[in-house]
Amino acid sequence: MNSQLAKIFLEIAEYLAMDNIPFKPAAYEKAARGIESLKKDIEDIYREEGLDGLEKIPGVGKSIAEKIEEYIRTGKIKYYQELKKEYPVSLLELSSVEGLGPKHIKTLYDKLEIKDLADLEKAAREGEIEKLPRFGKKVQENILRGMEYVKGGQGRMLLGDALPLARKIFSSTSSFDLSLLPWLKVIWPLFMRPLACSTNASLMPCSFMPSLMELIMPSPSDSTSVRCFFSALPL
């Protein structure tokens, strides 16, 4: 349930950023990071401590705690459903394309009714995107290039997806599961680009990089040893 709630709050942050709403996107992103870093199931926390226990989670205030309670009790969050109805786009798909932030996604939906990757690719190949204000031919080419990365499994990942996968990869480097190698091509750049801020609020922000290691490693480890580990892999 932790990862499900983290994904929902990251998407809420994206929806709010699409409307250029200040502060709230960062608050939901912070709550998602706090939930994703929990070692205990959030449902157990609620069962044992109620709303007070939820508010002890880093980044979770009263309003978000109530939404967590609603999800635990009903399996959905009304506020989230309303946002999805207002913008019926596949955020997970579109956000995976490098260079597409919330405002871009909103413009593409408002002007061209682009809802998913299929719509995006069709519009780009037909030259419709370059006609939009503040887009142009170069942006359209970058979008097409970014889609090729996504198809090759090298697109950007939401934090809610990246952390559980990273934890699994790093759970035991001494008995590394080779079937996870393809995913390292997606996760490793998150470590290698500490100065590259994301254009998308729900993707790894540069300010979060210093604490990422502590979240995914079973015990504290310096970045040098982790880099050495990756340098030995056939990526």
Bigger pLDDT: 127 vs 225: 127
Model pLDDT, residue 149 = 78
Domains of the chain (ranges, CATH numbers)? 2-86 (1.10.150.110), 91-151 (1.10.150.20), 159-231 (no CATH)
Task: Confirm if 60 and 38 have CB atoms less than 8 A apart.
Answer: no
Instruction: Provide long-range contacts, Cβ within 8 A and 24+ apart, for 15-23.
Output: 15/83, 15/84, 15/86, 15/87, 15/91, 15/102, 16/83, 17/101, 17/102, 17/103, 17/201, 18/87, 18/102, 18/103, 18/105, 18/106, 19/106, 20/103
Cβ-Cβ contacts under 8 Å for 55 (sequence gap 6 or more): 61, 62, 65
Model pLDDT, residue 228 = 43
> pLDDT digits over 57-80, tens only?
999 999 999 999 999 999 999 999
Task: Confirm if 223 and 191 have CB atoms less than 8 A apart.
Answer: yes
Residue 28: pLDDT band (50, 70, 90) is very high
95-102 mean pLDDT:
83
Q: What's the token pair of residue 204? A: 């790894």
Task: Confirm if 101 and 199 have CB atoms less than 8 A apart.
Answer: yes
Task: Confirm if 208 and 33 have CB atoms less than 8 A apart.
Answer: yes
Model pLDDT, residue 44 = 95
Distance CA(235)–CA(216), nearest Å, equals: 20
Q: What's the token pair of residue 16? A: 């709010």
Bigger pLDDT: 30 vs 168: 30
Model pLDDT, residue 92 = 79
| Weakest-pLDDT range from 35-44, 133-142, 189-198 | 189-198
Is pTM, for the whole model, over 0.75? no
Q: Work out the percent of the chain whose per-residue pLDDT is above 70.
A: 64
Model pLDDT, residue 126 = 94
Task: Confirm if 159 and 204 have CB atoms less than 8 A apart.
Answer: yes
Start-to-end C-alpha separation, the chain: 32
> pLDDT digits over 148-185, tens only?
877 765 444 554 555 555 555 555 444 455 455 555 54
Residue 83: pLDDT band (50, 70, 90) is very high
**Mean pLDDT, the chain, whole residue set:** 75
The answer to whether residue 199 scores a pLDDT higher than 80 is no
> pLDDT digits over 100-153, tens only?
888 899 999 999 999 999 999 999 999 999 999 889 899 899 888 888 877 765
Task: Confirm if 167 and 216 have CB atoms less than 8 A apart.
Answer: yes
The answer to whether residue 41 scores a pLDDT higher than 50 is yes
Bigger pLDDT: 22 vs 98: 22
